[in-house]
Chain A
Amino acid sequence: NAGVTQTPKFQVLKTGQSMTLQCAQDMNHEYMSWYRQDPGMGLRLIHYSVGAGITDQGEVPNGYNVSRSTTEDFPLRLLSAAPSQTSVYFCASSYSSVAWELFFGEGSRLTVL
């Protein structure tokens, strides 16, 4: 049972480059979300989705795009990478948005030079 799979696990970008962090889950979860983790800041919500075709912004959405064309996949796109986007990114999913346990991927460490 794979759970939540994130790729890549590590990535180095130059300022201005674009990239997509992939997230896939095989638990038929309706709710998926992206967080970023920075030292001393905890986890901050970037975007989330309550089902295929539905996305919404979290606390820190600027510079990121998401889409949810299938239940399984929830990619996060960095449009024009900036050094401030250097962070560890986590994808998480749950059965629903209503207070169920979040299942996390292993995280993706992104460095923007």
Chain B
Amino acid sequence: AQTVTQSQPEMSVQEAETVTLSCTYDTSESDYYLFWYKQPPSRQMILVIRQEAYKQQNATENRFSVNFQKAAKSFSLKISDSQLGDAAMYFCARYSGNTPLVFGKGTRLSVIA
């Protein structure tokens, strides 16, 4: 059963603007980890950002940041100052308990020059 939901199959953003990709998840565990992976046209999977559930502070990696709302089980990715190289599929993923990493269905992001 799919327990990571990305409700936006496609998104677009103007270059230099900010975009937010949504992700919700389901888990009964109190200790878990959340990830965003990027898949450019090259097909290579690249880790963008990682969040531990026990940390209240939202993770940040340069232009990428998350809005982690634990009670709502929401984990959105914000991309600031979007660049053409950000165009890709983005996958939200969750690890909890002993269950291997579970991925959402992905959001395809287009960046418009």
Interface residue ranges, A against B (CB under 8 Å): 33, 35, 40-45, 48, 58, 88, 90, 92, 97-99, 101-102, 104, 106-107
CB-CB under 8 A from A33, the residues of chain B are: 100-101
* B55 located at the interface, meaning its Cβ lies under 8 Å from any Cβ of chain A in the complex: no
Residue pair A107, B103 in contact (C-beta under 8 Å): no
Residue pair A101, B105 in contact (C-beta under 8 Å): no
Residue pair A106, B47 in contact (C-beta under 8 Å): no
CB-CB under 8 A from A41, the residues of chain B are: 105
Residue pair A104, B50 in contact (C-beta under 8 Å): no
Residue pair B50, A101 in contact (C-beta under 8 Å): yes
Residue pair B9, A40 in contact (C-beta under 8 Å): yes
CB-CB under 8 A from B98, the residues of chain A are: 97
CB-CB under 8 A from B91, the residues of chain A are: 42-43
A102-B105 contact, Cβ under 8 Å, with A42-B91, A48-B100, A58-B100: no
Sample of 28 A–B contacts (CB below 8 Å): A33-B100, A33-B101, A40-B9, A41-B105, A42-B2, A42-B4, A42-B91, A42-B103, A42-B104, A42-B105, A43-B103, A45-B100, A45-B101, A45-B102, A48-B100, A92-B45, A97-B100, A99-B32, A99-B50, A99-B52, A99-B95, A101-B47, A101-B50, A102-B45, A104-B45, A106-B43, A106-B44, A107-B44
A42-B50 contact, Cβ under 8 Å, with A33-B100, A88-B43, A97-B98: no
